[in-house]
Amino acid sequence: MRRVITESDVEKFTSKAGVDEPTPTVDDYSSKLMKYIPAETVAGFVALNGLLSAVPGVSLGFSWFVFMALVLLTMGYAWRSTQYKHLPPAYLQIAIQTVAFVVWVFSIGGPFVNLSWYKEYYGASILILYTIFIPLITP
């Protein structure tokens, strides 16, 4: 289960759940960090990016298509993996995970390297800052 659990979620869950259902525990900084980074789609991008880099003549448009398809896949996966019985949808977490995917791709380069203003240190800096600060967000 990838949903970040807050004190409010525990209260909502407890009020609606049956006696025999285990109550989820509130996530700490480390748990939130792990749940906010969409490792599966980042790994998929790394593999596809390596593949596309090895094939001569891949169009820039196709690279952007792959990136956008994985953004949508990240959103869908985040939606599905954050559903939890008795709790409302985790819209903020879905947004955080989707932006995290974009930040990771930006730091790796991907199709962004073709933009005239792109510098590698932009991606590295944003990745470090985003990764440090996102666990401080409690939905």
Are the C-beta atoms of residues 108 and 45 closer than 8 Å to each other? yes
Nearest residue to 139 (alpha-carbon basis) of 80, 88, 85: 88
Average pLDDT per 10 consecutive residues for the chain, totaling 139 residues: 88 73 87 95 96 90 96 97 88 97 96 94 96 93
Domain membership flag for residue 2: no
Domain membership flag for residue 129: yes
The per-residue pLDDT for 15 is: 76
**pTM (2 decimals)?**
0.91
Q: Give the single-character DSSP code of 134.
A: G
Structural domain tally of the chain? 1
Q: What is the Rg, in whole angstroms, of the alpha carbon atoms belonging to the chain?
A: 18
Are the C-beta atoms of residues 93 and 82 closer than 8 Å to each other? yes
Domain membership flag for residue 57: yes
pLDDT tens by residue, 31-63: 999 999 999 999 999 999 999 989 998 899 999
Domain membership flag for residue 1: no
Q: In whole angstroms, what is the distance from residue 101 CA to residue 80 CA?
A: 16
Domain membership flag for residue 26: yes
Tokens, residue 32: 């939130």
Are the C-beta atoms of residues 127 and 42 closer than 8 Å to each other? no
Q: Which helix (H) or strand (E) holds 51?
A: helix 39-54
